[in-house]
Amino acid sequence: MDFVYRRSYRGRVRAVIFDLAGTTVDFGCRAPVEALIELFQRHGIEVPVEDVRQAMGIHKKDHLRAILQSRVVAGQWRAAHGETPDEADTERLFTEFIPIQTAAIGRHADVIPGVSETINQLRKRGIRIGATTGYSREMVKGLLRDVAASGFQPDNLICADDVPAGRPAPWMAVTSAMKLGIYPLEACVKVGDTVADIEEGLNAGMWTVGITWAGNEVGLSEQECESLGPDELTRRVTRATDRLGAAGAHFVIESVQDLLPVIEAIDSRMAAGAKP
């Protein structure tokens, strides 16, 4: 009779790795939407907001490529240029896009309510804080300086161009954990507001938590959320919850300020032998 033995981590959460836009900063994930729409408008092309938000969370060059390949945009491009957009167009547009996106990030460098307080509580529990983003390093070079005064200072930030491939590949989350010195990866929690965030965490073997109210899937500013009727806001949050849950998120919450009970629930699950 053959037996296979498997080690099981029964400890607590040791690191939480956050996304940026729509999770910790930029309520509603507006900076990428504004920048991509502005880029294409400069070329006489109108991009539906839904098309921009569909692929949110991936490397911004991949995001740009996905929009160019969408039916609506590809059709407009062919009408304007007489040919289907190719990789050379992607590279040229991405170069033009970098300063547009950088400016938009600066306009939306607000820390989402509850983030700083939650991070302080996590650190009191000895939990390390990482961050990953679909932005390039050049785009965010001033962001952490701008938000530090509001209390958001992750121990590291891994950008999409720091690794061989961005989301949904696991490399940013894995690199963040490596730089934090944290293992096993099941002791880490990935928190984000997009399907790509959830896939990144799952592919890294981490617990995953989706964010709805402040994130891309609801896609509204804080003021818009407050002015929206309660039934419509509930409908949008429910839709976001369903989409992130369908992507495989272990937990879905409205915002980072709701995270601490989730960390406790994950601790309990791991103590009982559960894995992500």
Structure tokens at 35: 């920048």
Q: How many angstroms separate the first and last alpha carbons of the chain?
A: 29
Amino acid symbol at 249 = A
Active site residue: 26, 60, 61, 190, which one? 60
Tell me how far apart the alpha carbons of residues 70 and 240 are, in angstroms, rounded to a whole number: 22
User: CA torsion, points 58, 59, 63, 66, in degrees to nearest 10?
Assistant: -90
Active site residue: 19, 26, 62, 193, which one? 19
Active site residue 19: yes
Residues annotated as catalytic (active site), given as ranges: 19, 60
